[in-house]
Structure formats: C-alpha cells, structure tokens
Amino acid sequence: MAEWLNRRLAADTRVLVSPARRAQETAQALGWAFETIDDVAPDADPAAVIAAAGWPDAKTPALVVGHQPTLGLTAAQLLGADGREMPLRKGAVIWIRSPRRSVRDSAKLVVAMEPDRL
C-alpha cells in the first residue's frame, strides 16, 4: 500500500498519524515525514479528525493514518452518511476530495482500496 500511495500523493501532503504504535509503524513504512496527532488516536471523535486534517479549507492534502471505527465514521460523515460507519479493513485507503474549498457537503469519494486489491 505504501508503494501505491507514494505514486499518488502530492509532494506537499501532510501525514497525520495516531500516537498508537501500529499506526506509527505504518507511517514509518511509508517513508514520509509525519506528525503524531492525538486527535486521530484510537476512539477519536470523527469531528476531531476532520478538524486536524483542516477539512475542507486546508491548503494542502492530508493523509490520516489511524484506526477503525474512527476512520470509517469520519469517511461516512464526510460523504453524507453521518452516524454510520464505512467498513475498512486493516491497511485500507480511502481517498476523499472536496472539489470546492469551504463547502462541507461537497466531498467526493475518489478511491477505496484494500491491500489485497493491489
């Protein structure tokens, strides 16, 4: 998955990582500089993850390395299914884009990829 991401991430992507050991190991495998953020720790509130990423106003893209169910709930909230969870397997990537800055309900799913699909 790291190889797949490295071919697609913008050079200015911020990598936000949970302080949990497994998330830290995953981020290290990516080979990018990253920020350890408590707001993406296990059982974090999806609103905190969204705020940490600067959605939708961030000037640069963000990659969040975190945990279920938090990331699934966050993705669902961004995609308009608030209160539901998007099921994600370990190592999965969900790429969500906002085509227009400052429009919270304009999120579009670009890719949902699981490691065994590569």
Element (H, E) at 94: strand 93-97
Task: Report d(CA 110, CA 90) in Å as an integer.
Answer: 19
pLDDT band at 100 (very low <50, low <70, confident <90, very high): low
Residues 56-96 pLDDT 10s: 888 899 999 999 999 999 999 998 887 788 888 888 888 89
Mean pLDDT of 28-50: 95
Residue 18 predicted with pLDDT over 90: yes
In Å, how far are 22, 24, 53, 100, 102 from 66, measured between CA atoms? 9, 9, 12, 25, 24
